[in-house]
Amino acid sequence: MKPQHLTAKPGEVAEKVLAVGDPARAKMVAEKYLEEAKLVSSNRELLVYTGKYNGEEVSVAVHGIGGPSAAIVFEELRMLGAKLIVRLGTAGSLRKEIGVPEPIVVTGASYYEGGVLGVYSPNTCLSTSPDPILTSHIAKTFSQRNVNYHLGPVISNDAFYAESENFAEYWAKRGMVAVEMECATLFALGWMRGFKTGAVVVTADSLVDPSKKDLLHHEQLAPVMEKVTEALLDAI
């Protein structure tokens, strides 16, 4: 099947893709870090830019919010030639020791039964870990560049407004460090479809610090996001 949402043509998506939720972040990465950046798809705000970083082709793509939107974009990026997709996103902290905004190198993703992955694989659990070698390489690159980071698994949840104090306690007790919405879908599809995956999320809010409960937006996250973007582009 050919892509039904992204309008990029074959050859216009790089083998290496940075995937982000926010179109403003995609624009920032393309304008600030890619040489000769070209907008190759803009249907439904699912922007895809392709350009060069240190002489190598890289695309930055918007996956939207939540598993269903992200699954469509990851599937279509793969159809268009992506072989590695790294998510650069945001998350809500589930730990007192993880402040806002701070980066987390994601080592795995839990998810609830059902949802988009339940349709791909009814009554069974998919493997939702990122590529281990790529992930350790990202962590090493961050250390070498003196970008402080946390490390741990996230819960990829579909219902933003159903995240209560109990929700935070439940998932923190089970080892998760943050909540976001797309990593499980990315990692599962990577193993199913044969592309490498990884993810770094920057905390934009906290479920355990009431003074940080409101989401930080693009401009407020920009200084940390830019440091993380540079380290991540170097790593991939």
Q: How far is the CB of 215 from ligand GMP (least distance, A)?
A: 6
Cβ proximity to ligand GMP, 93 vs 129, nearer residue:
93
Q: Rounded to an integer, what distance in angstroms lies between the CA atom of residue 86 and that of residue 211?
A: 30
Cβ proximity to ligand GMP, 9 vs 112, nearer residue:
112
Q: How far is the CB of 41 from ligand GMP (least distance, A)?
A: 19
Q: Rounded to an integer, what distance in angstroms lies between the CA atom of residue 170 and that of residue 190?
A: 27
Residues 6+ away with beta carbon under 8 Å from 137: 235
Provide the CA 38 distance to its chain's centre, in angstroms.
21
Judge whether 204 and 221 are in contact, CB under 8 Å: yes
Q: Is 90 in the site for ligand GMP (CB under 6 A)?
A: yes
Q: Is 65 in the site for ligand GMP (CB under 6 A)?
A: yes
Backbone angles phi, psi at 33, to 5 degrees: -120, -20
- In this chain, which of 205, 221, 224, 232 binds ligand GMP, going by CB under 6 A? 205
Site string for ligand GMP, 164-183 (x = CB under 6 A): ---------------xxxx-
Q: Is 234 in the site for ligand GMP (CB under 6 A)?
A: no
- In this chain, which of 3, 51, 67, 92 binds ligand GMP, going by CB under 6 A? 92
Helix, strand, coil in percent for the chain, rounding step 5: 40, 30, 35
Indicate the residue type of 34.
L
The residue number with the shortest CB distance to ligand GMP is 92
Q: Is 46 in the site for ligand GMP (CB under 6 A)?
A: no
* SS3 category, 131: coil
Contacts to ligand GMP by CB under 6 A: 21, 65, 89-92, 157, 160, 163, 179-182, 204-205, 215
